[in-house]
Amino acid sequence: MEEVCERFLRYIAFDTASDENSHSIPSTKSQLAFGKTLVRELLELGLKQCTQDKNGYVMATLPANIKGKIPVIGLIAHLDTSSECSGCNIRPHLIKNYPGGDILLNDELGIYLLEAEFPELKKYYGQDLITTDGTTLLGADDKAGIAEIVTAMAYLLKHPEIEHGPIRLAFTPDEEIGRGCDHFNLEKFGADFAYTIDGGELGQLETENFNAATATFTIHGKSVHPGTAKNKMINSVLVALELIDMFPANEIPAKTEGYEGFFHLINITGTVEQTVLKYIIRDHDLEIFERRKGFAESCAGQINRKYNAELVKLEIKDTYYNMKEILEQHPHVPALAEQAMRDMKIEPLKVPIRGGTDGARLSFMGLPTPNLFTGGHNFHGRYEFIPVQSMQKAVETIVRICELA
């Protein structure tokens, strides 16, 4: 299982950040390049039906080594990384036998991974950690998931005495920008159920996630020379500040946890003439989710009434829904993963996803798909790290799932 670390370090050399402003499919060419490399690797390992389609989706098959009617298991991870932090020229640090305490990521810049700020480090005394150098993300979301799936398949190929049914792999583009399932060919994939390997710390088994929407406010102002602007100018930036101030200050990601939803302002661009605010709206409870969207609409309405003009236009777009609704109808799917973890001496950690995965959308498309751990922490930023031992446990769990099904 040591090869999962080597494979992961090789994969993160590819800068595969997706781009939500791109209209191409996939959104970045680097995802296609990485996918082509994976297809070659999968063929060399001995997998069958290894393909990359025009949209960048990589699929492959490990055929069954036993006869009989056995369900087809799907294993899924995504090719892209977040654009919230650079993934270019990642220089990982491998810390053997972590002794505890703060970790110096970058001496020149004075960047530390502080144990006081990230107390989860205390769980990994004596283990081997892979960190960043403090200037990029690490890419464990989701290069770790890909490395773990591929390593598990390599292990099964080397150990034909482990009986298993047909296993289908899929590596999707553009998950980080919510497009990971836009062109997913379910019929071609052909699985009865699946697992995304896209979670966090060791043992995570996730069967519920946020309902999610984006809310885009476009605020139109009136630009007049400031020397003659009295009673004429409407500064759209200032109107935007009024709108922002209407949202509840405590219902933001930095002040919520667990099942608590939020409004998250993710982008502002503006001039006097026009300002655009982009929010994401999240809640596990569908009824509260709908109320949150209604609140956003009411804020736009209040501004328009105040100025007696249609200054604010709002577009709300749902992006995904809580997969709990679907997975409750297929309890055997998460139960299989839970049994595999327990067999590997891993205590399942059932937590709601404060986000989403391809599995949420796939579940509503007809493929029940809970989410399993990769082992990583602090995704999307310079403080990201992953314990090698957790990656190895992920490989063992995947192998056991394939054996149990």
| R_g of the chain, CA atoms, integer Å | 23
The C-alpha atoms of residue 135 and residue 143 are separated, in whole angstroms, by: 18
The C-alpha atoms of residue 369 and residue 375 are separated, in whole angstroms, by: 19
Of 292, 319, 346, the residue that ends a domain is 319
Residue 30 has pLDDT above 90, yes or no: yes
3-state secondary structure of 5: helix
Say whether both 187 and 329 belong to one domain: yes
Section 50-65 average pLDDT: 97
Pick from 274, 273, 403: which is nearest to 339 by CA? 403
Classify the C-alpha dihedral 128-133-134-138 as positive or negative. negative
Say whether both 193 and 216 belong to one domain: no
Say whether both 120 and 182 belong to one domain: yes
Q: Which helix (H) or strand (E) holds 297?
A: helix 286-307
CB-CB contact of 349 with 371 (8 Å): no
Give the burial class of 244: count Cβ atoms within 10 A of its Cβ; 0-12 exposed, 13-18 middle, 19 or more buried.
middle
Say whether both 54 and 116 belong to one domain: yes
The C-alpha atoms of residue 180 and residue 211 are separated, in whole angstroms, by: 16
Say whether both 275 and 220 belong to one domain: yes
CB-CB contact of 401 with 195 (8 Å): yes
pLDDT digits (tens, 9 = 90+) for 69-90: 899 999 999 999 999 999 999 9
Q: Which helix (H) or strand (E) holds 269?
A: strand 262-270
The C-alpha atoms of residue 363 and residue 188 are separated, in whole angstroms, by: 16
Tokens 């001995």, residue? 46
Confidence of residue 1 (pLDDT cuts 50, 70, 90): low
Model pLDDT, residue 357: 84
CATH number, domain with residue 10: 3.40.630.10
Q: Is beta strand 103-106 parallel, antiparallel or unpaired with respect to 211-220?
A: unpaired
The total of structural domains in the chain comes to 2
Say whether both 251 and 154 belong to one domain: no
Model pLDDT, residue 356: 82
Say whether both 260 and 185 belong to one domain: no
pLDDT digits (tens, 9 = 90+) for 206-235: 999 999 999 999 999 999 999 999 999 999
CB-CB contact of 9 with 130 (8 Å): yes
The C-alpha atoms of residue 342 and residue 155 are separated, in whole angstroms, by: 20
pLDDT digits (tens, 9 = 90+) for 154-188: 999 999 999 999 999 999 999 999 899 999 999 99
Of 268, 289, 319, the residue that ends a domain is 319
CATH number, domain with residue 240: 3.30.70.360
Residue 264 has pLDDT above 60, yes or no: yes
| Bond into 142 cis (ω within 30) | yes
Of 319, 336, 365, the residue that ends a domain is 319
Domain that holds residue 252: 211-319
Say whether both 63 and 203 belong to one domain: yes
Say whether both 140 and 235 belong to one domain: no
Dihedral pair phi/psi, residue 139, rounded to 5°: 95, 10
Residue 299 has pLDDT above 70, yes or no: yes
What are the catalytic residues?
A: 80, 175
Say whether both 228 and 358 belong to one domain: no
Say whether both 30 and 147 belong to one domain: yes
Residue 2 has pLDDT above 80, yes or no: no
Task: Give the up-direction half-sphere exposure of residue 22: CA atoms within 13 A in the CB hemisphere.
Answer: 16
Say whether both 338 and 232 belong to one domain: no
